[in-house]
Amino acid sequence: MRRRRIGAAAVTAFAAAVPLAFLAVFFLLPVAGMVAKGFWSEGGLDLSGVGEVLAHPRTGRIVGFTVAMAAAATFVCVVVGVPVAHALYRLDLPGRRFLRALVVMPFVLPTVVVGVMFRSLLAPGGWLGWLGLDGSWQAILAAYVFFNLAVVVRTVGAAWEGLDRRPEQAAAALGAAPRVVFTTVTLPALRPAIVSAASVVFLFCATAFGVVLTLGGLRYGTIETEIYLLTTALLDLRGAAVLSILQFVAVVLMLVIVDRARSGGGVVGSGTGGGTRTLSAPSAPGRITTAALPSLAVTSAVVAFIALPVIALVARSLQRGGEWTLANYRALGALDTRRGLPTTGWEALATSWRIAIDATVVAVGLGLLVAVLVTRPAHTTGQARRRRMLDSVVMFPLGISAVTVGFGLLITLEWLPFNLRTSPLLIPLAQAMVALPLVVRTLAPVLRAIDDRQRQAAAALGASPSRVWVTVDLQAVWRPLLAAVGFALAVSLGEFGATSFLVRPERPTLPVVIYQLIGRPGADNLGLALAASVVLAAVTVTVMVLVERLRVPSVGAF
Amino acid sequence: MLRIENLSVEFGQLRAVDGVSLEVPAGSVLAVLGPSGCGKSTLLRAIAGLEPLTDGSVCFDGVDLAGVPTHRRAFAMMFQDGQLFAHLDVGANVAYPLARRGIRSGVARAEVSRLLALVGLDGYAARRPATLSGGEAQRVALARALAARPRLLLLDEPLSALDRSLRERLAEDLRRVLAETATTAMLVTHDHDEAYAVADRAAIMRAGRLVQQGPVAQVWAQPADAEVARFLGYDTVLTGAAAARVLAAAGDGTGDWVALRRDAVRLVGQGPLRGAVQSTHRGQDGLRVGVDVEGVGLLVAIGDPEASVGVGEMVALRVDHRRVALIPPSSDRPPAR
């Protein structure tokens, strides 16, 4: 017995070592590099940089703006997202599957594309140009909400769909009006999901990069864009490092709070593991009554809000000089040296696709490993604690900005014993880092929901551990696994933050090309950027539609 | 034969199973009985190799099973809720352990129908587990467990999730099937009726320790202490002078403590015990009368359903010695009465 446990422990330790080593090289090392840049000078510890950066009035302004915008966007996302979750997951709404897909779509739209969308809508000459919101903080806020609403809708919706209806019915039978049932029974039951989603939205908004860079211009900046600016334009690596660390500390703090909110204490014995969320069979959607009218009204507004920028983008990409034309799309295939681009749009798309596939293989492989490890039932409190720690650690990249990862990698690459700088794997690995937490979040709830006695039953009937895995785990997880593949693919295709630091100038990815194009003057360049955005959006959305057909509730839910 | 010696399992600070030793001879069925949380399921899981031992050993036919993983022990396990594989139909569920033993196609099909017939589910092979009732699911789980040709069948509360009448019927079938297949089995349950119906031997567990074991009838006739007696369905446990009076009335031996089943005391015209009626209450087994018996205290007696007695009336009682158990004086636990 003891011998077997030691053997199993060795396998577990090795399995945990692989993702941890990956995290160490592509996450901890960059962060360590950042610390060294910020606090280490002339062979000694030097904290003067911290004081300097923090004392700078601009820093205060940037941090304040970052936090205030993230808080405002989180508030709007929750207030709007909960009624939408109700309408799309609890009501027998015609076409709700399509609407669900529509609401999730922005989440996988490349940040750069979202930026381009809002600009083409709000810029002078755009459909909403008369609002005069181009380059305003309101535009950034709208883009944040556009982007992150899906997180609230998916997370709360998945929880709501799986909610046992009987307590609600019991409350109603005790004389509670629908509104009272909602506030006294439903809302408390949804609270963990709402808290979880809100924290994730806050993290995403606080570390948003591409959207702010394309929409904020020079007037507004967040910690992320400031790091980018300090690194690339002002070459103040120390200042950038201090800001990165500041953000890192804040995010780790935040994740600890989320972790506390998500689960209450470790599980010992033969339980089904950490989390508190269970995925039960969805209950039948309810009929639409007048009580549902507010939810339906909010949902209609949200659908319009999401559809408008998309339609505007597509429409404007089909125009040049006020006329309808395919010229912008034709230009995607042409190599025009005047634009200073080394590749055509299609070549950039091919580059993006190749990189995304490599990144997906890495992210899904590691993510599956991590998900299996963290959901194994723990026998001791120590084991339960270690599993929860691993679970939290792989979530770090979710909150740590891609810019930090990209920038950190850039300055620590030469520390590695192998040459990664020129390796074609560099960008895929960095993107895998970004996609890894999403893969784990898709797979872990499904694996956690498996009754461990199913595995025990199989083992007792003579199935070897690998056969047990095929019979029980794989059976439950193959759809989520496919969904995770699509999700990772979509995220990698649109990844901009880390890629923008690491990309080789002669082989840009499509998001990088789009960003370069909108930075150049001229209607031709803008038109090309619009067309490229439509193509990129079409590819990621197609992938997500396929994912959506798999009907996995944990995709995009936190 | 299964032999467990000094087996202990700890979860952190908690000693869930504490130095348990027992044997299950080949072909016999042992019921491990105990209230929930007594460690009986953990004991079962430890025997299956699903829980690491802190101390002690599990041997089968003289071979120590330390280091033998669950799937190589040939101990099939049946769970309270069946744990059928939902993605496989009934036939494929039953064939699952056959495939693990390398038996496939024709032979396996024949074996599957034989086993399904054995558990009374002829023609169920194509059904989905989701379409089965609780009792049917448990029968399939039994057929599947037997298909593994287990050296030892471990049953974890196999009937507890079912309703009463179904449980009684299935308990009988379970006993028959185990006997027909000469399966060595260990059953864990908190239901003494289930244990009595299915097992040859019983072991009583409490707070991780084994407090009594022996042939089923013997365990029932001589509970180790007052708590065991109560757990085995004895209604009343008496001690001291009260016990002596009741035993004298039953005309049956002497002892410090005595346990009475709920139908041990009967209302009669003439009897050795007398007392005043405190309450009456009509039940399915007759009139249940609470009587304050001189020198004993309150006893509940069964009377003729037609009898009419009023509160305060003096009545006579008789004690049926077959419904009374003596608790050995070595017992160190005070009676709860």
Residue B337 lies in a domain: no
Higher pLDDT, A220 or A532: A532
Higher pLDDT, A47 or A29: A29
Q: Choose the closest CB to A457 out of B72, B79, B147.
A: B79
Where does a domain end: B228, B263, B293?
A: B228
Low-confidence residues of chain B: pLDDT under 50: 331, 333-337
Is residue B171 located within the same domain as residue B273?
no
Residue B332 lies in a domain: no
Asked if the Cβ–Cβ distance from A456 to B50 is below 8 Å, we say yes
The whole-number pLDDT of residue B288 equals 86
Find chain B residues with C-beta within 8 A of A269's C-beta.
Answer: 11
* Model confidence pLDDT, tens digit, residues B102-133: 888 888 999 999 999 988 899 999 999 999 99
Is residue B15 located within the same domain as residue B113?
yes
Taking alpha carbons only, the member of A58, A37, A534, A48 closest to residue A311 is A534
The whole-number pLDDT of residue B336 equals 42
Interface test with B, best of A461, A471, A474 (most B CBs within 10 A): A461
| Token duo for residue B300 | 């509940």
Listed as own residue / partner, the contacts of B48-52 with beta carbons closer than 8 Å and 24 or more positions apart are B48/A456, B48/A460, B48/B73, B48/B75, B48/B77, B48/B154, B49/A1, B49/A4, B49/A459, B49/B73, B49/B75, B50/A270, B50/A456, B50/A459, B50/A460, B51/A270, B51/A379, B51/B9, B52/A1, B52/A2, B52/A5, B52/A379, B52/B9
The whole-number pLDDT of residue A14 equals 78
**Among A114-118, A518-522, B29-33, which stretch is predicted with the lowest mean pLDDT?**
A518-522
- Closest-CA residue of chain A to B84: A454
B251: CATH? 2.40.50.140
| Token duo for residue A461 | 């009937």
Distance CA(B110)–CA(B94), nearest Å, equals: 11
* DSSP three-state, residue A324: strand
Taking alpha carbons only, the member of A233, A103, A207 closest to residue A155 is A103
**Among A119-133, A305-319, A436-450, which stretch is predicted with the lowest mean pLDDT?**
A119-133
Asked if the Cβ–Cβ distance from A456 to B70 is below 8 Å, we say yes
Is residue B26 located within the same domain as residue B150?
yes
For residue B148, give how far its alpha carbon lies from the nearest alpha carbon of chain A (Å): 6
Is residue B211 located within the same domain as residue B239?
no
What does pLDDT average to over chain A?
81
Residue B25 lies in a domain: yes
The whole-number pLDDT of residue A5 equals 54
Distance CA(B156)–CA(B187), nearest Å, equals: 6
Is residue B164 located within the same domain as residue B36?
yes
Higher pLDDT, B7 or A386: B7
Residue B199 lies in a domain: yes
For residue A10, give how far its alpha carbon lies from the nearest alpha carbon of chain B (Å): 15
Rg for chain B (alpha carbons), in Å? 24
pLDDT category at A378 given cuts 50, 70, 90 is confident
Taking alpha carbons only, the member of B60, B33, B244, B72 closest to residue B157 is B33
pLDDT category at A169 given cuts 50, 70, 90 is confident
Find chain B residues with C-beta within 8 A of A3's C-beta.
Answer: 66-67
What does the pLDDT average to over A151-168?
Answer: 85
Give the contacts of A470 (CB within 8 A, at least 6 positions apart). none
The ipTM estimated for the assembled molecules is: 0.76
pLDDT category at A357 given cuts 50, 70, 90 is very high
Could you tell me which CATH number the domain at A2-266+295-413+421-549 has? 1.10.3720.10
Residue B303 lies in a domain: yes
Is residue B27 located within the same domain as residue B135?
yes
pLDDT category at A557 given cuts 50, 70, 90 is low
The whole-number pLDDT of residue A403 equals 74
For residue A365, give how far its alpha carbon lies from the nearest alpha carbon of chain B (Å): 25
Where does a domain end: B199, B228, B257?
A: B228
What does the pLDDT average to over A532-555?
Answer: 82
Distance CA(B274)–CA(B297), nearest Å, equals: 11
Listed as own residue / partner, the contacts of A410-418 with beta carbons closer than 8 Å and 24 or more positions apart are A410/A501, A410/A502, A411/A30, A411/A33, A411/A34, A411/A37, A411/A237, A412/A29, A412/A30, A412/A32, A412/A33, A415/A29, A415/A33, A416/A25, A416/A29
Q: Choose the closest CB to A460 out of B11, B48, B68.
A: B48
Is residue B121 located within the same domain as residue B199?
yes
The whole-number pLDDT of residue A275 equals 33
Q: At what angle do helices A345-375 and A426-448 cross, to 10 degrees?
A: 40
Higher pLDDT, B126 or A376: B126
Domain of residue B273 covers 234-327
Asked if the Cβ–Cβ distance from B79 to A453 is below 8 Å, we say yes
The B residues from 64 to 123 touching A (CB cutoff 8 Å) are 65-77, 79, 83, 85, 87, 96-97, 100-101
Higher pLDDT, A216 or B94: B94
* DSSP three-state, residue B255: coil
Residue type, A371: A
Interface of A to B at Cβ within 8 Å reads 1-5, 268-270, 379-381, 451, 453-454, 456-465, 467-468, 471-472, 475
B62: CATH? 3.40.50.300
Residue B121 lies in a domain: yes
**Among A6-10, A469-473, A529-533, which stretch is predicted with the lowest mean pLDDT?**
A6-10
Find chain A residues with C-beta within 8 A of B76's C-beta.
Answer: 460-462
Asked if the Cβ–Cβ distance from A4 to B68 is below 8 Å, we say yes
The whole-number pLDDT of residue B13 equals 84
Reduced DSSP (H G I as helix, E B as strand, rest coil) percent helix, strand, coil of chain A, to 5: 75, 0, 25
Q: Choose the closest CB to B69 out of A4, A380, A451.
A: A4
Is residue B264 located within the same domain as residue B152?
no
Is residue B85 located within the same domain as residue B186?
yes
Is residue B171 located within the same domain as residue B31?
yes
Higher pLDDT, A383 or B259: B259
Where does a domain end: B228, B244, B267?
A: B228
Q: Are the C-beta atoms of residues B69 and A468 closer than 8 Å to each other?
A: no
The whole-number pLDDT of residue A2 equals 47
Checking if the pLDDT of A282 tops 70, the result is no
pLDDT category at A46 given cuts 50, 70, 90 is confident
Taking alpha carbons only, the member of A113, A83, A87 closest to residue A99 is A87
Can you name the residues that pair with B3 across neighbouring β-strands? Answer: B23, B59
Q: Burial-class residue A546 by CB neighbours within 10 Å (0-12, 13-18, 19+).
A: middle
Asked if the Cβ–Cβ distance from B97 to A461 is below 8 Å, we say yes
**Count of domains in chain B?**
2
Residue B300 lies in a domain: yes
Is residue B222 located within the same domain as residue B243?
no
For residue A87, give how far its alpha carbon lies from the nearest alpha carbon of chain B (Å): 30
Is residue B7 located within the same domain as residue B137?
yes
Residue B247 lies in a domain: yes
Find chain B residues with C-beta within 8 A of A475's C-beta.
Answer: 85, 87
